[in-house]
Each structure stands twice: as C-alpha cells, then as structure tokens.
Structure 1
Amino acid sequence: MSHKTTIAEVYESLEHVMDPEIPVLSVIDLGMITGVELEAGAVHVKMIPTFAACPAVSYIRNNIKTTLENELGIAVSVEVDKEVHWQSNRMTAAAKEKLKNFGIAPPQILAGEVSAEIMLEIPCPHCGSKETYLRSPFGSTLCRAIHFCKACGQVFEQFKPLE
C-alpha cells in the first residue's frame, strides 16, 4: 500500500526551503506560505514574496517545487498568491530570533501604519543597544535598511517592517 502525503508532511518539508538571502530562515519562518492543497497525487502550494519586487521569487518557487518533489515523491505546483500581501507581522517569533542571531535586526511588530519613527532606535543585533541610527533606508536587498550602532560601532542591517 502506498503512503498518502499529509498536509503536515508538506509543511514539514517546507521548513527545509530556506530563503536564499537569509539562509537561516525558511519560507515557513518568513510566513511566505498562504496555502497548501492536496489533490489526487499532487500538492499545490500558494506563496507570497516578502517584497513585491523580490528578485528571488522564481528561485524560491523552484526550491519549493524541487524540495517537496524530492522529499515527498509527489507532483508539485507552486503559485504566487496575488490575493495576499506579505507583511512583517507574518514572521514567526523564532524567525525574528534567528534573524537577530544572524546579525540582522528583526522588524518590529506593527500595530498600524509604517512611519519613519519606527526605523529609529532599532536595537543592535550585536550588542543590544538602542543607541542606533538609520544610515540608509536601502540595504543590500529591498527588504533591508542599514543602521549604525553608536555603542559598539557596528553597521548592521534591519529587516524592514512592512504592512
């Protein structure tokens, strides 16, 4: 008798699909998966990019497909969900801790609109000081900003809060 893939197994395999720009975070950590459907011998995954113009979307879609097909032995289709927009509050608490340990300041929890003030006094992921300032709203990727810590002298990136 053949094994029937479960939704839980699909989500477990999705934990192995890492973000190519931040390899300590999975698509699950980032809250990029909006749906999983099992159909006769196949799985359909809906995902959203963390930023509208993210250049890694095709790469991530292909990794989801390849990983699930290899791990579960099932046909996979992946579509970008155009009904849902990613926001930084979708990130898990574990993802934010992993980001900090990786040297990137995690986004703050948003309870309203993003404002310039929310980008100020971001805790330094290296020393924890809030004596920081925004050097540039543009980092190495569209989803990051660059900050400077006055306490330890380190430049660091912050994953931008996005609503």
Structure 2
Amino acid sequence: MVSTLTDHDRARTAAAAVTDPELPMLTLQDLGILRQVRIEQDGTVAVWITPTYSGCPALAEMRADVDRAVRAAGFERVEVRTALSPAWSSDWITEQGRRKLAEHGISPPGQAPARPNGPVPLTLLPTRTVPCCPLCGSAETEELSRFGATSCKALHRCRSCLEPFEHVKEI
C-alpha cells in the first residue's frame, strides 16, 4: 500500500502526537501548543510551539520530544522554535482536549478573559472562577490553592462529594 501522506502531513502528524509532559493524557495539538509545522526549502522541518506560560518549565522537554518525534518520522533536520506572540490562551485547548481533562478528573478551563489590544491592564484583584467538579458535576466547589502541581493549574475541592481536583486556569 502506498502512503498518500505528504512530507508536511507526516511531520505535522508526528509533532501533533507528542504528549504534554505535565498532562500526559493530552497532546500538544489538544492543548493548542502546536502552532505551525513547515518544511523549509533546505528540507528542515520547522515546528513552532507556544508555551502555556512564559518560563514554563516543561518547554525544554516539549521541544526535545517534538524533535525526537519528527526525526523518528524520517526527517533529519528539525528545528523546534518558540512562538510567544500571540500569547497562548486556554481557549486554544480543543474540545477533545477538554474532554480528556475531564475524563482524567481535571476540570477544564472556562472561557478565557477578553484581552484588550494594547498594553495589558493592571488588575490588582485576582480573577476567580468557580469550576464544576469533574467527578460529580457539582458547581459547589471551592479553591484550596491558586497554585497546583503546575503553574497552569489550581487546586479545588468539591463541597458535594468532598473530593479534591485540579482546574486548568483560564488564561
């Protein structure tokens, strides 16, 4: 059987299948971290990714994992580049990604706050969301800690079933 995938398709498929080191049930595609894959004139596969947070400690591992995956797909020259603009938004998480988060007991983010054009406005009060419990569905939840196991998550507890759960923050 002859493959009908183009080199670009093979490279993109390989990069898109890389899992997030902090949320291994999700791919970089699911999270909206994978921005672009392009094959340059010299044959180099250029892959752009955007971290969920600037200074994300998992970025180096993501870059290495993408490099390995694209090389394993048969490409010799790979460059993984970081795109910081526009900044990543939790709105970029796919519906499949949101479903996978909930299936693994992590509350997916709601809609990200609107970002105005121009300078970022100074907000002195924290933004708070009240996510539903991914285990029982109750909206009766409370935030235990704004900072979870990773920068992009907060720790919550359900007041109905009393189970703790993580919530991916809206960014």
TM-score by length of 1: 0.89
Deviation at 1:57, TM superposition (A): 0.4
Alpha-carbon distance between aligned partners in 2 of 1:142 and 1:151, rounded to the nearest angstrom: 26
Instruction: Please tell me the residue identity of whatever aligns with 1:119.
Output: T
Instruction: Please tell me the residue identity of whatever aligns with 1:28.
Output: Q
Q: 1:146 aligns with which of 147, 150, 155?
A: 155
Q: 2:65 aligns with which of 48, 52, 63?
A: 63
Q: Residue 118 of structure 2 aligns with which residue? A: none
Q: Residue 28 of structure 2 aligns with which residue? A: 27
8 A Cα contact 2:113 2:170, kept in partner: no
Instruction: Please tell me the residue identity of whatever aligns with 2:141.
Output: T
Alpha-carbon distance between aligned partners in 2 of 1:38 and 1:26, rounded to the nearest angstrom: 21
Q: Residue 37 of structure 2 aligns with which residue? A: 36
Q: Residue 120 of structure 2 aligns with which residue? A: none
1:155 aligns with 2:157: no
SS at match of 2:20: coil
Moved over 6 A (4+): none
8 A Cα contact 1:7 1:37, kept in partner: yes
1:105 aligns with 2:114: no
8 A Cα contact 2:15 2:66, kept in partner: yes
Alpha-carbon distance between aligned partners in 1 of 2:47 and 2:75, rounded to the nearest angstrom: 15
8 A Cα contact 2:11 2:73, kept in partner: no
8 A Cα contact 2:51 2:84, kept in partner: no
Q: Please say which of residues 105-114 and 73-82 is displaced more in the overlay.
A: 105-114
8 A Cα contact 1:144 1:159, kept in partner: yes
Q: 1:131 aligns with which of 123, 140, 144?
A: 140
Deviations 1:79-109 (A, max 9, x none): 1113321110011011000001111100002
Deviation at 1:111, TM superposition (A): 5.2
Deviation at 1:118, TM superposition (A): 4.5
Q: Residue 11 of structure 1 aligns with which residue? A: 12
Deviation at 1:16, TM superposition (A): 2.1
Identity %: 32
Instruction: Please tell me the residue identity of whatever aligns with 2:132.
Output: P
Number of corresponding residues: 159
TM-score by length of 2: 0.85
SS at match of 2:35: strand
1:119 aligns with 2:120: no
Q: Which runs of 5+ in 1 are unaligned?
A: none
